[in-house]
Amino acid sequence: MSELAHLSATQALKLFRTRALSPVELMTAVIERAEAVEPRVNALSETMFDEALDQARKAERAYLGNGSPRPLEGLPVATKDEQPIAGMRASDGSLAYAGHVADTTHPVVERVVAAGGIVHARTTTPEFCCAAYTHSRLWGLTRNPWNLDYSPGGSSGGAGAALASGTATLATGSDIGGSIRLPAAATGTVGYKPPYGRVPAMSPYNLDHYCHDGPMARTVADCALLQNVIVGPHPADVVSIRPAAHLPERLGDVAGLRIAYSPDLGNWEIEPDVAANTRAVADALAAAGAIVEQVEVPLRRADVMRAAFIHFGAIFGPMVAGVAETHRDELTPYALAFAEDSRAALARDGFLAGLELEGRIYAVIGDLLDRYDALICPTAGTAALPAGEDYVDTKLTVNGVQLDHYLEYSLTTVFNIASRCPVLNVPSGLASNGVPTGAQIVGRSYDDATVFHIGAAVERVLPWPTRPQL
């Protein structure tokens, strides 16, 4: 049954249609897998297994001719706990909100359910989704199924860990600084940060151009399948773009595309195994017929961090600080540090200075993508962070260099600043510690299809393992 739990969504749908597999059989396999591995991985914050089996039986009848199967009919989909579901707990990973119940459902979850997806579980996050690892006082420690000594990343860490361990077929995530791409990289999965407004979100964070909700999966085709379900305008989101831009079914044609390859985006520290794996992605694309050229990118990680923390200090940080005013003793040290660091950055530099810096950062990316169809670079400078470490009182060292802030290990936040650029993380290989590494495929503004074509080409030429030995 564990083989079924790792079946891709597109394969499962084909088997459903030919009646070679029942949605009940798939759901049962996923539940049995969760019962076997969850005590060690802890990726699921909440489970609805009995209800999911009931829905799987209804899906089975649709494939037997008693209905019309919808795009995700019968697939187990884990949704990020941050995305509320009416009538269910809405804790945001915090003890301070442990008793809160949502009165509305996130548009992404609405669309998953309307398409026949079965939400059998919700996935863990760090408190308030404000960290690049996944542990909290509410849910405890989520571990990476490839190596339990490491974190699956954050903030969509539970989603990545669930996909890798076979406890979900598809998953939803959100990304304000790398929160889809970092967990995807650390868990050997595929994660997509759509361009701003492509997928609807909820107020007030739908108005923050750093914020994106998006799909996570084990294959590029599965990621495209889920993206095509959640994309498009929504009446509750004024920035959601119309018309919906759907990805093509056939993916992988990169012949003649001009692709820029940056080993480090300028001056990010990159571990040797990450560098070698990213180079392998560039070589795979050249083998697939693309024109790949190594480029120098004149960015500095200190500038990106400064711009990001000014931005966080204006929107995200004050939310955490507001909770801390009445619930400080219940919050994690990393959430308190995030609020303090971001508010200090805003007070020191001012919001206008942050916007001016963001403009200069995007000018570098915009110039590059005016000359190339896409850019590839590492997702992070190191494969994964140790499980349980929060870097409040310690520093992170990457490639022998101690970083000023642990988030400097991430090459993702650049593209939250350049938020209209679509970015797809694909696995690039394994590091020496047995944890996957990832590469980002960055497209021109709102050119979603090209990054998926490139991702599918990488997957074809450089196939990745999708199942850890857990």
Task: Give 93's contacts (C-beta < 8 A, 6+ positions apart).
Answer: 45, 81, 82, 124, 125, 126, 127, 128, 129, 136, 138, 139
417 residue type, one letter: I
The residues with which 76 forms a beta bridge, in sequence order, are 118
d(CA 80, CA 151): 17
* Strand-pair category, 212-217 with 190-193: antiparallel
Output phi, psi for 118, to 5 deg: -105, 115
From the list 412, 436, 368, the residue with the least C-alpha distance to 214 is 412
Active-site choice (179, 240, 419, 428): 179
Other Cβ atoms within 10 Å of 461 Cβ, number: 18
Other Cβ atoms within 10 Å of 85 Cβ, number: 21
395 in active site = no
d(CA 9, CA 115): 13
Contact 70, 114 (CB under 8 A): yes
Contact 199, 108 (CB under 8 A): yes
342 in active site = no
155 in active site = yes
**Total length of the chain:** 470
The residues with which 197 forms a beta bridge, in sequence order, are none
Active-site choice (45, 80, 136, 240): 80
Active-site choice (22, 91, 155, 262): 155
Q: Which residue has the tokens 């005016």?
A: 370
- Mapping DSSP to helix (H, G, I), strand (E, B) and coil, where does residue 215 land? strand
- Mapping DSSP to helix (H, G, I), strand (E, B) and coil, where does residue 71 land? coil
Task: Give 249's contacts (C-beta < 8 A, 6+ positions apart).
Answer: none
The residues with which 173 forms a beta bridge, in sequence order, are 214
Dihedral angle computed from the Cα positions of residues 268, 320, 143 and 463, in that order, rounded to the nearest 10 degrees? -50
* Residues carrying an active site annotation: 80, 155, 179
